[in-house]
Amino acid sequence: MSKIIDIEDRLKLEQKKKRKVERNKKVDAVRKILQCTRCLARCHKCGMQFDTTKIYKRYHGRFRFCESCQEEYDEFVRLQAEGGESLYYWHNQAWLNLWQRWLDYQDALKEYGESPEFIELVREVEWDR
């Protein structure tokens, strides 16, 4: 009789494991959107880590860029506003498309992060602690 396994305890244990796996998936989803895509220690475009003395520097605009990406972004904005030719031959139409698509992607991330469903996910993760 001592070898009989209580099936209810076993089922509860399995359900607890499944809930833990689901919670970990939710936490990862929230972490990737909130933490990884908006890391203050890295350039938003290329991901290069900032020098620690520049992490807390005030940035104007929506994004925190390294110097190189900031120059590229400024040139992109100038070309969008004024038109004309860039001083750099590699700033071609494909380069303009790349920047525009990157900005579209950033807008999509922002839209998703502000969606009611994502906000609900964040609340679920916070309440599960």
Q: Residue 35: which of 104, 128, 109 has the closest Cα?
A: 109
Asked whether residue 56 is domain-assigned, the answer is yes
| Residue 76 near residue 102, CB atoms below 8 Å | no
Q: What pairs with residue 49 in β-bridges?
A: 42
pLDDT digits (tens, 9 = 90+) for 72-101: 999 999 999 998 889 899 999 999 999 999
Rounded CA-CA distance 99/85 in Å is 16
> How far apart are alpha carbons 122 and 114 in whole angstroms?
11
pLDDT tens digits for range 6-36: 777 778 888 888 877 777 777 777 766 666 6
State which residues form the domain around 29: 7-127
pLDDT in tens, 37-80: 667 778 889 988 887 676 666 667 788 888 899 999 999 999 99
Give the pLDDT confidence score for residue 7 in this predicted structure.
79
**C-alpha angle 92-96-102 in degrees, rounded to nearest 5:** 145
Q: How many domains does the chain have?
A: 1
Task: Give domain status of residue 2, yes or no.
Answer: no
Predicted pLDDT at 104: 96
The reported pLDDT for the residue numbered 61 is 78
In a domain, 100, yes or no: yes
Cα dihedral: 39, 40, 42, 46 (round 10): 70
